[in-house]
Structures are given as C-alpha cells and as structure tokens.
C-alpha cells in the first residue's frame, strides 16, 4: 500500500525536511524522489511514492526510512543501480512497496561496497538478478530504527538512540520531536536562537537539560 497522500500515522516529509533530517544535499533527495522512487520504482507499481505540497514534493515515513537505507548504501560505495535492483527483488519477494523498511530485510541485508546481498537459509545471495553466492561481505546495521508488530519501521532516531530526538509518524506528522513528548525539536532550537538560557528552556517545557541540548545539536548539524 502506498503512502502517497496525507494521512494520520503516515508522516509528512518535504524534500527539504528529508535533506535536513538525513544530512543529505537537497538536490540528491529531489533526485531520489523524482528519478528513482517516483520514476524507476514507481513504474513497477504504476504509482508514485510522493505527492505535491506547495511547490515541492512530500513522502511518507517509510519512504523516509528507505532514503535512510539508500544513504547507508551510498556511504558504503554502492551504486544507485545496484540498490534499485535489490529494492525491486526484495519488494517482489516480500510483496511490499517498502522492503527497506522491513526488519526481516534489514536484519539480513549487507554489502561489500559493490553489490547488495541478502541472506536466505544462511547463504548470501546477490540481489542483482544473477543469484550468485558471496560470503565475503560487510554487514550493514540499522540501529537507529524501532519496529512495530508488523516488523515495519515505526520510529527513526536520526542522532542515534542515545539522544532524545526521534521521528515518529504518530507525533506531529513525523517531524522531529523529543522522545516521550510532542515537543518539536525546532521549537527548542528557536528559543536557543533567541538567546534564551538552556536551563530556562528546560524549565519552561519541563524536560531534562539533555533533551534541550540534543535538540539544539540536531538542528545545528542540520543547518
């Protein structure tokens, strides 16, 4: 089922917001949306992963997670073509439009920096249509995600779980909030930019000082 329209629980992330959350250049995110997810992958399902929000595009939470996975493969040196082939094969195998958001996939996917592999029955299979075997791989870990009962990504911790900023599609349409609250991290950052003391901000919102510092650090790094 596609998440290509505004709906509670799906989250809403514009191109600019994705770029800020994932620390990825805006043009790259725009290209991922238009050329790959809406283009090459969308053609497989005769659908689009995004929808219009003003003059930009927006996607749901699970597409954000797929972009996060895409970013991990890019950092590992894997070419986009190889990632898209893996996405298509895994999508067909698991009958889902969001294979990179499934825990079963992320627990068994890996790369050697060139190809993408998936472990089936303790054997690593190349996800490029060749089904070649390869055991010399680098495991990819996705420790910044929580999963729901359906084993789909349910929350994303952009700074890691030792920090308090989290993207939860059930809170503020997935915009970064402080864990356990509906306080958007951006609100904290704006008070910081207004020269309000950190202890005062923590007192006003009744949150730990660490939460304030994490919110500020998150938006400083995204600037």
- The whole-model pTM stands at 0.91
DSSP structure class, residue 49: S
- What would the pLDDT profile of 130-148 be if each residue is shown by its tens digit? 878 777 777 887 899 999 9
Q: How far apart are CA 139 and CA 137, in angstroms?
A: 6
Spell out where the chain has E strands: 13-14, 50-53, 56-59, 109-111, 116-120, 123-126, 138-139, 145-147, 153-156, 165-166, 177-178
Residues 150-188 have pLDDT tens digits of 999 999 999 999 999 999 999 999 999 999 999 999 999
């Amino acid at each position: 089922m596609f998440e290509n329209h505004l709906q509670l629980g799906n989250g809403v992330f514009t191109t600019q917001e994705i770029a800020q959350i994932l620390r990825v250049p805006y043009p790259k995110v725009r290209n991922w949306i238009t050329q790959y997810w809406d283009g090459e992958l969308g053609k497989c399902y005769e659908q689009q992963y995004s929808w219009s929000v003003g003059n930009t595009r927006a996607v749901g939470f699970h597409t954000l997670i797929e972009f996060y996975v895409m970013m991990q493969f890019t950092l590992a040196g894997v070419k986009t073509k190889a990632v898209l082939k893996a996405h298509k094969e895994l999508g067909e195998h698991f009958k889902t439009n969001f294979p990179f958001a499934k825990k079963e996939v992320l627990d068994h996917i890996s790369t050697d920096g060139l190809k993408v592999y998936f472990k089936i029955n303790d054997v690593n299979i190349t996800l490029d249509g060749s089904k070649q075997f390869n055991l010399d791989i680098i495991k990819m870990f996705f420790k910044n995600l929580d999963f729901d009962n359906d084993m789909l990504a349910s929350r994303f911790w952009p700074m890691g779980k030792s920090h308090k900023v989290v993207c939860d599609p059930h809170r503020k349409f997935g915009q970064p909030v402080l864990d356990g609250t509906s306080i958007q991290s951006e609100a904290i950052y704006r008070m910081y930019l207004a020269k309000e003391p950190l202890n005062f901000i923590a007192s006003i919102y009744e949150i730990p000082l660490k939460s304030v510092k994490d919110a500020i650090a998150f938006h400083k790094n995204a600037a």
